Chains A and B, each alone.
Chain A
Amino acid sequence: MPDTKVIMPQMGESIFEGTLTRWLKNKGDQIERDEPLFEISTDKVDSEIPAPAAGVLKDVLVEEGQTVEINTVVALIGEPGDEAVETAPSQAETTGNGEGSATVRDETPEVAAAPAAKASSASAGAAGVRSSPLVRRIAREHGIDLATISEKGTGVGGRITKRDILSYIEQGGPQKAAPVAPQASPPPPAPAFKGPIERKKMTAMRRSIAEHMVTSRRTSAHVATVFEVDCSAVMKARAILKPEFERSGVKLTVTPFFIQAAVRAIPKFPIVNSSIDGDTIVYKRDINVGIAVALEQGLIVPVVKNADEKNLLGLARSLNDLGERARTKKLKPEEVQDGTFTITNPGNFGGLFGLPIINQPQVAILGLGGIEKRAVVIDDAIAIRPMVYLSLSFDHRSIDGGVADQFMAEIKHTLENWQA
């Protein structure tokens, strides 16, 4: 029996590399089919990958911490009794129709030793960039470094196609290249810090967050508005509903109230649920609300699909489920995709309000501050009320201040007049 090759799976359409974060089995271990074999981290999700076949883990070709392209063989599963292979020819070999570029990214120090020769022989400046022979020729003729336009690829798996490179050239080509595109390569060392330091490689998630945040700042014209909302009605409703929800096995926090207030307001201000494509505004019919969930090592934004079609119980249940699975790394790739609006919760640790960064390609993000009792003036009398600051960061390219404020006023009105 030939060995079964275990490959780095493709965890989503636009994902073409993954970091193997942890082996759950050791070389020589007996494994069952579908038993969790290793953990991976991609720029969208972290997950456990099951063994594709039963047998003995004969060889482990990719070490923990290594980032490899999808379809790279990471391990071999052999028949019980097979000897572990002693030769380790080229650390990792790529199957499938990936082109013959670097299979092992040389950014991981552990693999720099022996197999690095293979990695560094990849075509100049284009390691890991998918293109075609035609595109490479056009790039050469126009002096374009494909790595600088790798994010423009619209082909399968992000491949740079003829159309992509021709439209890049048409738009001015390399001379007018993006002014501030920050590279993943380490920045020139600033005036060196003299004291003792520790250097630590970013995780895939960290890198991805870093990239997304900077991209968003560069893309959108961020403006924020902050509203103060009296949460008395919401707190009252929550107190009434909480025991009822608990009987259905659902923990009720205040977040579902805010989600529901937002999704009720969105149809009146559809621009909030849109994105910008060139000179076109794309209105989305579905309302899919992303909820930022803080994790030990970063954060992830699972999406409640069609949030406007769910009642409070449904929202609370989705929230519990997605939050739990986000923390236990059990989210599926599609559960972090297709959000149309995002809610984040900067008030968790007592922050009054935050000014969040928009989750691209969306155009608005709602920030929930912490709810706390404050003295407020009502009808010329001072009252004590549970108050919250809600902030909305929006993209001024498509949303003007008046619209944003009306949207927020609508949310405020819903929350303050909540009927249990």
Chain B
Amino acid sequence: MADGLAGAEASPAAVSAGRAVFEIEGLDIEYTTERGTLQAVRGVSLAVHEHESFGLVGESGSGKSTLAMGAIRYLASNGRVTAGSVRLNGVDLLELSPGALRALWGSQIGVVYQSPLSALNPSIVIGKQLSEVARQHLGMDRAAALDRAGNMLAKVAMPDPEAVMKRYPHQLSGGMLQRCVIAMALMTDPSLLIMDEPTTALDVTTQALVLDLVAELKREYDSAILYITHDLGVITKICDRVGVMYAGEFMEQTALRELFTRPLHPYTLDLLGCVPHFAGSPQKRSLITIRGSIPKLDELPTGCIFAPRCGFVEEACTIARPPLDDVGSGHLTACRRWRDVPPPAEYLRAVTEALVPADAACVERELLVEADDVQVYFKGSRGPRGSGRKRRPIRAVDDLSLDVCVGQTLGIVGESGSGKTTVARAIIGLTPATAGEIRLRGERLPSKTGARPRTTLSKIQMVFQNPDASLNPVRSVGDAIVRPLTLLGGMGRQAAQARAKELLQAVSLPASYFDRLPHELSGGEKQRVAIARAFAAEPELILCDEPISSLDVSVQGSLMNLLMKLQVEERTSYMFISHDLSAVQHLSDAIAVVYLGRLVELGDAVRVLRPPFHPYTEALVSAVPIADPDVAQKAIRLEGAVPSAMDVPPGCRFHPRCPRCLGEVCRDQEPPWRQGEGDHRVCCHIPLDELSRLQAETLRLAAEEGSA
């Protein structure tokens, strides 16, 4: 087999000048399970140098976390390393005694985790959790260790470190928590820093801040960084060298820029094309879909493991597994046909199709849903003593007006806590609006779902973020789709079953899935069922609340393709709620930007995401990690999180965080709506042409800095 061979032949150090700090060679990791022994990682080699950061990219199940954790010998009790070597500063970790290994954990090896809230102990204050590391490894006393913890927090740009040290994790926001975890990992100035999806659980704006911080720390510290992520956009900000993993093996390993400009493995090519590019051409195209799914570890194909899903496959690929070969200047690929792999742009043009542009001018807009001054308030809790003890309402959504046109998609963007989900729930009636009016084709809808007639109920459907939670685990897939057909569509049992099978086909699932239970399906398949169920009622509007966020990138692409296909066929309107601006841009005809329950910008998708935009939109756009290292981006960063909807700032709600705040006028007065081109509207005190000028200036500076 090609296991191990790959490591021997590879020379990943060739491109980098620095000293290799962390070297993995020919690593095999096995799990013993009920299904037998599974080889989760096979013959993997990599090297990370000082000041360098190595990006480990792959979808879920690719073995990237197993590789990182196995290399530092932190595996579940049923996992073990069976072959290979792992050297940290020349010391083989696999040879160390458990005690010696523990002495390295936390001192030479620092780890940053995906979810900072669960990575910190809920019942211990931050200061103690940080200082513990210094006490353990640096032999400091309590006071000195706390002092060091405070300094580290200041180094990761934590506002008011002294106060933060006395807090418990649940009292801090996600971004602050991740800074604490990063500070904790850096307490002992480790040689190796493992970052396992450190920004995946964070908001885009917070993600941008944390990525900036990591990039800065990388310059300041000489730690080697092993950066694990599924997001190709994120690695452009952090990594120097990238390895693409698939089902436990490297498919390709190369320098960052090479990976994007000249990938030499079909899997990399597919990964690049299955997510929409934020800075992509205005001409929209469908996304690349990778057929099939990642193979199970006990059913690996004999030849190339990617062959069954590969568009470049030939007979020889299925016979022997190709080794990971250096094809020149440290570019490693495990593809026999690497010479035939085309440049990404060319490939994209060949395998995707142009989508009919929804030209605003030629399509006559037909209003489907109008929301007028919709307001959703919740009963709040009493304030602290002395504040009058009056219940302050939680102002989740305030005077928000928007329209959805027939056959079009309205994208809603904003950070978490901006009220975007509440807007959708108010429209469908799950969270009744406390004021305002919602009309469907001109007819006013009662605010509560229960008060709406069935015919109206069927017109608006919803697809939720988490398909695991939105499908009943004891009801079959067929039942889930049949139910709206009989309940809202008034169909008989027989007809409903036949229709349900058609719907399964429409979402590209085999009819045999009819009798399956949700747990037998993958995440993407479950979401397809949820989409089929939403379409079953023959709705005019489907509210999609982050429908793709919890899924793997390749699955996201195919779901977006599906949504667009169904929209064209059924002329259904969507309201697409997401924090992912690339996806929103890809799917939407119009975009609404929401901040703290208020609309701040609204208009055609193209106009909203281009200057002049609202300063909040500008910040969101500049925070998007673009999967292209050549795109210059402004560095506009928003500190902190969206304030509580109980303490809405006066004047413009965005002013405390606004980088372009004018001062008094923004603090005291509600901003006016300013009319731009077409139906583009921005709610800001700064006039549009002024915004336009300021924003062009910032972009010019960023481009200069990028090229310098």
Tell whether A pairs with B. Answer: no
B residues sitting closer than 8 Å to A (CB atoms) are none
A residues sitting closer than 8 Å to B (CB atoms) are none
